[in-house]
């Protein structure tokens, strides 16, 4: 459904952030993209959604194809209309608008078509938003704001939702609730999901396929079960030692494992 072939992204004409990255998102699946800070995960999403331009970034090589059409030259509004919706990192709700107005803003490309139905659909996934529909979004809790951000995406009837760190800054219980809902949306609405996460354990549990990126490249990919068994992933992303117990900081100094993939 979505394929990135060898893309290269440069910011401000000099900073090379993505160095020939390829990945594929099959229809109806949840694909996770993992990596540490600064690996280029958010940049990858922005390269897909067309949000690079306002930040002075550019796809200089390779191509992004969605539904068999190249989209890396299109602007953000066109890409949203084609059915890709990015839920940006840090929730980014419109703080001075009410919950319902936020949702209506998400439905902008659809106008007022089936507005009432869509609102009901979002409220069925997030009953808490319904209770707070008239409240100013800036006063919601972090978890509610994340729900609003995802709900806002649903309003646009996207074929692919890209979630940029939905767990950021949320309490563990809330994170689990949100991930449950993401899986439900994937199953019930048949919405394809590309998930960027730092919380590797959760992401690997939710995803059908996962990519690990570092320094602007994909270094490893595979089924979550296989990745969970990979010694490097266990060490660097899951914080487990080879036996499977939690890693103790006491051992850190004695032996530092080097990554077996070369970046």
Q: Which is nearer to other proteins, 44 or 86 (CB)?
A: 86
Report the residue from 16, 73, 92, 239 that binds other proteins according to the rule CB under 8 A: 92
159 binds other proteins (CB under 8 A): no
101 binds other proteins (CB under 8 A): yes
186 binds other proteins (CB under 8 A): no
> Stretches 24-32, 86-94, 171-179, 208-216: which one binds other proteins (CB under 8 A)?
86-94
Q: Which is nearer to other proteins, 42 or 186 (CB)?
A: 42
73 binds other proteins (CB under 8 A): no
CA 149 to chain centre: 12
Residue 184 near residue 196, CB atoms below 8 Å: no
156 binds other proteins (CB under 8 A): yes
57 binds other proteins (CB under 8 A): no
For 225-254, what is the HEC assignment? Answer: HHHHHCHHHHHHCCCECCCCCECCHHHCCC
User: Which residues does residue 211 pair with via DSSP β-bridges, in sequence order?
Assistant: 33, 221
107 binds other proteins (CB under 8 A): yes
Report the residue from 14, 111, 246, 253 that binds other proteins according to the rule CB under 8 A: 111
- Measured between alpha carbons, how far is residue 95 from residues 119, 139, 141, 161, 224 in Å? 19, 8, 12, 22, 36
Encoded one letter per residue, x for contact with other proteins by CB under 8 A and - for no contact, window 11-40 reads ------------------------------
77 binds other proteins (CB under 8 A): yes
Backbone angles phi, psi at 6, to 5 degrees: 50, 45
72 binds other proteins (CB under 8 A): no
Size of the site for other proteins (CB under 8 A): 29
Taking CB atoms within 8 Å and a gap of at least 24, the contacts of 176-180 are 176/202, 177/143, 178/143, 178/146, 178/147, 178/150, 179/205, 179/206
Residue 53 near residue 130, CB atoms below 8 Å: no
47 binds other proteins (CB under 8 A): no
């Amino acid at each position: 459904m979505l394929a990135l072939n060898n893309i290269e992204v440069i910011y401000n004409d000099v900073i090379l952030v993505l160095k020939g990255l390829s990945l594929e998102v099959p229809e109806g699946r949840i694909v996770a993209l993992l990596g540490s800070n600064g690996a280029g995960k958010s940049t990858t999403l922005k390269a897909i959604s067309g949000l690079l331009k306002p930040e002075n970034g550019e796809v200089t090589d390779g191509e992004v194809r969605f539904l068999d059409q190249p989209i890396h030259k299109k602007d953000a509004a066109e890409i949203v209309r084609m059915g890709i919706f990015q839920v940006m990192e840090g929730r980014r709700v419109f703080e001075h608008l009410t919950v319902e107005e936020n949702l209506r803003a998400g439905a902008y490309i659809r106008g007022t078509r089936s507005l009432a139905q869509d609102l009901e659909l979002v409220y069925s996934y997030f009953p808490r938003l319904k209770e707070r529909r008239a409240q100013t979004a800036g006063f919601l809790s972090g978890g509610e704001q994340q729900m609003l951000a995802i709900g806002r995406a649903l309003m646009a009837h996207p074929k692919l939702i890209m979630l940029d760190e939905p767990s950021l800054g949320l309490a563990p219980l809330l994170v689990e609730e949100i991930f449950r809902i993401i899986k439900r949306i994937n199953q019930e609405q048949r919405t394809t999901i590309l998930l960027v996460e730092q919380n590797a354990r959760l992401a690997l549990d939710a995803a059908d396929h996962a990519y690990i990126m570092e320094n602007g490249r994909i270094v490893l990919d595979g089924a979550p079960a296989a990745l969970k068994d990979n010694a490097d992933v266990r060490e660097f992303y899951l914080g487990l030692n080879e036996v499977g117990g939690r890693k103790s900081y006491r051992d850190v100094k004695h032996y530092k494992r080097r990554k077996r993939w070369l970046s």
